[in-house]
């Protein structure tokens, strides 16, 4: 599986009419643009080599300077949140587990979105019972004759 940031950035580029970047480039950005950054990752192990990956991404929409609050909210409510709810990629669809939206400036919006992804990690097939050893001995075997 390729990086979660790349998957989400590619998905956003398909559905939004703005530039999408995944790196902090500084002041060279020309609005409107969306910046996608990975904030945190966590993996919870399940049975048989399965993991649940929890990816929290920060998506920042930088609008043009002369936009109104209503235009910024329409980007959040009608397009950005809707597009981020389900992300299609080569192996299927990833659904957002949680999403938090905040207006950080007159023309900028930040969305924190968490995706929960099931990941299969290939493991070597090992018969776990073959290697099981008992770490105790009975009292009879220890030589004292009592049970």
Which token pair is 69? Answer: 């609050």
What pLDDT, on a 0 to 100 scale, did the predictor assign at position 133? 60
What pLDDT, on a 0 to 100 scale, did the predictor assign at position 63? 81
Q: What is the pTM of this model?
A: 0.73
Query: From residue 4, how far is each of 8, 14, 48, 92 by CA, in Å?
Result: 6, 16, 23, 13
Average confidence (pLDDT) per 10 residues, the chain, 147 residues: 84 87 73 90 86 92 78 73 89 91 84 90 61 57 54
CA angle 53-56-61, nearest 5°? 145
CB 72 within 8 A of CB 84: no
CB 114 within 8 A of CB 55: yes
Give the strands of the sheet with 33-45, arranged side by side: 19-21, 33-45, 50-62, 108-120, 92-105, 86-89
What pLDDT, on a 0 to 100 scale, did the predictor assign at position 140? 54
Question: Which runs of consecutive H residues, i.e. helices, occur in the chain?
Answer: 4-15, 69-74, 81-85
């Amino acid at each position: 599986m390729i990086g979660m940031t790349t998957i989400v950035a590619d998905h956003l580029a398909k559905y939004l009419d703005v530039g999408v970047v995944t790196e902090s480039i500084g002041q060279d950005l020309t609005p409107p643009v969306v910046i996608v950054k990975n904030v945190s990752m966590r993996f919870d192990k399940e049975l048989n080599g399965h993991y649940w990956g929890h990816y929290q991404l920060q998506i920042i929409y930088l609008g043009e300077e002369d936009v109104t609050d209503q235009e910024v909210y329409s980007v959040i409510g009608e397009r950005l949140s809707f597009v981020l709810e389900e992300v299609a990629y080569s192996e299927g669809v990833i659904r957002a587990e949680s999403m938090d939206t905040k207006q950080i400036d007159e023309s900028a919006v930040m969305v924190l979105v968490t995706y929960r992804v099931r990941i299969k990690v290939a493991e070597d097939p090992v018969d776990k019972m073959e290697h099981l050893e008992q770490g105790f001995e009975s009292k009879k075997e220890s030589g004292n004759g009592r049970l």
